[in-house]
Amino acid sequence: MHKINQVIVIAGLLTVMPAGVARVLAADNKTVPETPLTAEGNTLAEKYGALLKAAQAEIETALPKMDEQRKAAYMKMCEAELAAEAELAKRQGALDACRGAVGLLEHRKGWVSKATAAVAAAEEKLKQAATDDARKAAQTALEKEQKNKATGEEELKKSEAALEKAKTEEPKLAGELKVAQDALAKAQADTLKAVNELGLNSFLASDKLDATFAKYVVLTQATPRGLAEFACRARSRRPWWRSYWRMTC
């Protein structure tokens, strides 16, 4: 099933399972500090809230009656799929960090190479200094370059050690990534199976409520308040934003 169809199914089910809304959306939405809305912002938030309720009511009315146990099974599969996606991202991140050791090593090699050249130039400048002030300034510059080179060499040693460790760990991390990929594929297959068991295929085959589903997903994910806050900020920079929302809403 195409990804957008999965989103549509989830949206439709969540409208009739309030607890499901809280569980599933909590996986993606992070709590952020709220800023006070202006009077216009409050009006927009109310407007978006009304649109959300209207979309939810329309979907609830159109949805065929579903078995409660199968709905619960579907929600469980959704949670498992979200967990599998998070685990895959974690494993991919670990492998990417491991492989990044090579790039960091090359960067630090360049650092040391440039620092070595800078030290040589500073030493030459010190030799050519003709006055006490010039020698003092050249000595200070040389010490600075020597310190930078020493730091670079120390960091290079760390990178070399990290690369050796990465070479050892990469096969293990690649294996864990493959396990996570297989787990996600299974979770997605289980979700699809749960969807099919809901008996919604004929309902989903229709495009009658596509616009309503899309509006519901946007309003639920972004939240009426979040959309209102964004619209107010955007309107101050781009006057067309308010007209755009009037047309689309």
- Break the chain into its structural domains and give their ranges: 3-96+157-248
**What single letter denotes the amino acid at residue 220?**
T
**What single letter denotes the amino acid at residue 214?**
A
**What single letter denotes the amino acid at residue 207?**
D
Closest CA to 152 of 117, 108, 194: 108
pLDDT at position 56: 86
pLDDT at position 242: 53
Low-confidence ranges of the chain (pLDDT < 70): 1-34, 234-249
Whole-model pTM: value is 0.54
pLDDT at position 238: 56
**CB of 149 within 8 A of CB of 119?**
yes
d(CA 170, CA 8): 38
pLDDT at position 20: 42
pLDDT at position 189: 92
pLDDT at position 173: 92
pLDDT at position 216: 86
d(CA 16, CA 27): 19
pLDDT at position 243: 55
Query: Count of alpha carbons within 13 Å of 58, Cβ hemisphere only?
Result: 15
